[in-house]
Structure 1
Amino acid sequence: MTTAVAAAPSRDRLGIWCGWVLIGAAALVPILGWLAPLGFAPLLALVGLLCLPALRIADRDRPAAMILFAALIWAAVSTTWSPYHPSKPANSSILKLAFELPLYWSAISAARRADPVLRTRALHVMAWGCAMYGLVLLEEAVTRGAIYKALHASYEQIRDDIAESHVGHSSQVLALIWPLAACGGPRRWRPWLALAMVLGTGAAARAFGYDEPMLSLVLAPLTALIVWRWPDRAPKVMAVAAAVLFLGMPLLVWGVRHFFDYEAIRHALPKTDSMRLGYWSHAVDWIRLRPVRGWGLDASRMFGPGIVLHPHNSPLQIWLELGGIGAVAAAALWIVALTRLAKPAPSLAAAATAACASVYLLSGVSFGVWQEWWLALGALIAVFAIMNASTKETVG
């Protein structure tokens, strides 16, 4: 009895500490999204480091934890046959992943442990900050990135086309996180906050030629609506679809190449998309040679000029580097994550989380899977999904 009473204040202090750390992180999210997306990796790592005492693996977390740990071990083993050998620790993906897994898990644990009042405050900070983020993107679309260029010029000159590309790229960040960001706002303000985020994302994406955020603005609300309408079945269907995506991507590319004029399709697309299809085709050829164990972590870097850095497709990169074993692990992780969104009644938090997950899956078809900022954004979605789920009541 005495021990339990004495421990209570300590737990309270930890919850308060986690809450303030998350408030600070929430305030930085829109700033990093606009000016420095690569900063999401150190941000999530810092949150995890500061909240390490909150690190827990609950019973319901064990399936995901086991999959992630097993995948990390397999990735480490695969480096023994990978043709890529990093010249310095900063270039080693396995070293980064070994630190990211516990630190990002710690950040997720902090979201659960945070003081409820401070957790709600962090969600409000995130919501209002991302609404401002959307309004800034709207202004940047009208002025062709005037604020971004002026800020950058204060410490380093930058070409106009590169600056505009950076602003367009930042619209992808808001396109990914806006459903959960808006969900965390005050109830009566949520529609207006969401509107500011959507308008800014769409305007910047259109102005600077980014198609993916435009697709996301259709996919996210549609996914949320479906999960709201069928709260139990829809997440399970999503889980199956995600597994099929990761397991079947090489077969899909092979099928298009075999039954259609792949080169004609490539040449009909914009240059960036055409290059991606070229990488995908080369990746499938290499995958066929080692379909089970793959070529080893980071092996994609060694397949130039057919593949530059990576295939720009997360499922194909996992197949190429970690083989079918890695692809099964990725599919299993998505099944576990998405089926946990199934609810007996409509849940706004679950619908918003599913919306963000659908955009993450869509964007993964064109991104490298081991990019630190991208993995950090995935962890950020998990953090704010848990925070929203902890503060929102299920609606009957």
Structure 2
Amino acid sequence: MHPSRRLYAAGAVALAALPLAMALANRSSPLVVAIAALLFLAGRCLEDAGAVRRLLLPPLATPPGLAALVFLAWCAATLAWTPFPALSLRMAGEFVPTLVAAYLLARLAPGRIPGFAAPLSAAMVVLAGLTIAVGLAAGLPLQRALGQRMAEFVYNRPALTLAVVAGPLALVLWRQGRRVVALAALAFAALGILRSVSGAAAMGLAAGLAMFVLGRLLPARLAVGLAGLGLGLAVALAPVEGDLLDQFMPEAAHERLVHSSSRARVAIARSFGAAVAADPWVGAGFGTSARFAEAPVAARLDPEMRTLLAVGHPHNAFLQVWAELGTAGAVLAAAVLMLMLAPLVAWPAGERATALALVAAAAAIAFVEHNTWAAWWTAGLGAAITWLRDARSRTTPHTLSRPEAGPDRTLS
């Protein structure tokens, strides 16, 4: 066996293990993705170093790639005025390496993932779903044995990872003819998601399923247009989300969502929205949400609006972009999202519907949950995109390496 194939097999095992790794250690995905990325990078370099350059560099010169680079450059520029440079650099040190690893994995792994990897990952999804469901039902025995924190939300990150990874993985299995395995992976992922206490994961599951159905039923341009409209509204309305919900969300809805702390979330969104209104153009600086209550803009707000700025982040990734990066950052983020969606119009129906489902699930989760720059979230999205691109490679042959190295069926 050629050494590159051994490296690909090892990288595929790491990628496949991600769902269970997260269920056992809910911050493990950045390390897992980094290991997988390095193994695939080493394998590609051994096979054809020139192909690595052709796989990695041209996408950065496309409109979506250039928009993403400009967005990252703006994130870096805000370090010039952040009031907490050490915090901003620490957040960048968490986010950027994981983003690079996710990009390497998503570009280099598709077309080189061995056939055994998808069924293996399906088994990991099944075990992850069972770990979440059984662990919560049995009173968190694993956490008790390891002396870890005894809290039901310990399984929220694994559930959120399942919400984005399961669909693209199921598509790969479907393309391999393993339809029963694909359905089993989806069923056990749903079990873990619905048994968890993460309302965000359940929202992601529902949004992804709805968008998949629409993606299959509607014409391509209409389906992609609806996804674009949803993302555009999510960005545009983020600064006034709290005020809108405070005015129009009925009390009965708050009562049904009492376990999701809906009232507190609305108050948090109002506080961060007020901060955006007070400093709308350039934001407080990358990664400052953890100490936003101490930022200069907080001192300009009414006292009742300051308290909840100390929660760590606004529980809305779109609002966090506004608060930290200002209007310029929000416009650039919207441009990246719109340019990302545009090519999906030309994709085959199955791949397009799955991609739109991933976008919808991720957007629904981002609208209510987690720190935007969290490495575990970036790694999970990177794994999901890798599986999606691998499924795409099975229907779009495109040779990017030397003929003697074999076909490299990757997303064009």
| TM-score bin, normalised by smaller chain | 0.7 to 0.9
Corresponding residue for residue 346 of structure 1 = 349
Post-superposition shift, 1:268?
A: 7.8
Corresponding residue for residue 228 of structure 1 = 216
Post-superposition shift, 1:310?
A: 1.2
Query: In structure 2, do the counterparts of structure 1 residues 60 and 159 end up closer, same or farther at CA, with 3 Å as the change threshold?
Result: closer
1:129 matched to 2:144: no
1:319 matched to 2:322: yes
TM value normalised by structure 1: 0.81
**Segment drifting more, 193-202 vs 28-37:** 193-202
For residue 70 of structure 2, what is the amino acid of its counterpart?
A: A
Aligned counterparts of 2:395 and 2:24: Cα–Cα separation in 1 = 31
Aligned counterparts of 1:20 and 1:251: Cα–Cα separation in 2 = 48
Query: In structure 2, do the counterparts of structure 1 residues 379 and 188 end up closer, same or farther at CA, with 3 Å as the change threshold?
Result: closer
Post-superposition shift, 1:255?
A: 3.4
Correspondence for 1:333 among 330, 333, 336: 336
Corresponding residue for residue 362 of structure 2 = 360
Post-superposition shift, 1:159?
A: 5.4
Whether contact under 8 Å (1:178, 1:198) holds in the other structure is no
**What secondary structure does 1:298 align onto?**
coil
Query: In structure 2, do the counterparts of structure 1 residues 263 and 85 end up closer, same or farther at CA, with 3 Å as the change threshold?
Result: farther
User: Number of matched residues?
Assistant: 368
Post-superposition shift, 1:208?
A: 4.4
- Unpaired stretches in structure 1, ≥5 consecutive residues: 1-11
Corresponding residue for residue 165 of structure 1 = 153
Correspondence for 1:248 among 234, 237, 242: 237
Post-superposition shift, 1:238?
A: 0.7
**What secondary structure does 1:86 align onto?**
helix
1:180 matched to 2:178: no
- Unpaired stretches in structure 2, ≥5 consecutive residues: 46-51, 294-306, 398-412
Aligned counterparts of 2:384 and 2:189: Cα–Cα separation in 1 = 20
Post-superposition shift, 1:293?
A: 0.8
Aligned 1:1-396 pairs, distance under 5 A: 16=5, 19-52=8-41, 53=45, 54=52, 56-58=56-58, 62-86=62-86, 92-112=90-110, 114-115=111-112, 118-146=113-141, 148-149=142-143, 153=145, 156-158=146-148, 160=150, 162=151, 164-185=152-173, 187-199=176-188, 201-202=190-191, 204-230=192-218, 232-233=220-221, 234-257=223-246, 259-260=247-248, 269-270=257-258, 272-304=261-293, 305-307=307-309, 308-343=311-346, 345-347=348-350, 349-365=351-367, 366-392=369-395
Post-superposition Cα deviations, 1:76-125, rounded to whole Å, max 9, x if no partner, equal 111121112326x9x6223344434433221122124x43xx44332332
Aligned counterparts of 1:86 and 1:266: Cα–Cα separation in 2 = 38
Q: Alignment RMSD, CA only?
A: 3.1
Aligned counterparts of 1:316 and 1:178: Cα–Cα separation in 2 = 27
Post-superposition shift, 1:168?
A: 4.8
Aligned counterparts of 1:99 and 1:167: Cα–Cα separation in 2 = 24
Corresponding residue for residue 4 of structure 1 = none
Whether contact under 8 Å (1:224, 1:354) holds in the other structure is yes
Post-superposition shift, 1:276?
A: 2.1
Query: In structure 2, do the counterparts of structure 1 residues 264 and 284 end up closer, same or farther at CA, with 3 Å as the change threshold?
Result: farther
**What secondary structure does 1:248 align onto?**
helix
Paired-residue identity, %: 19
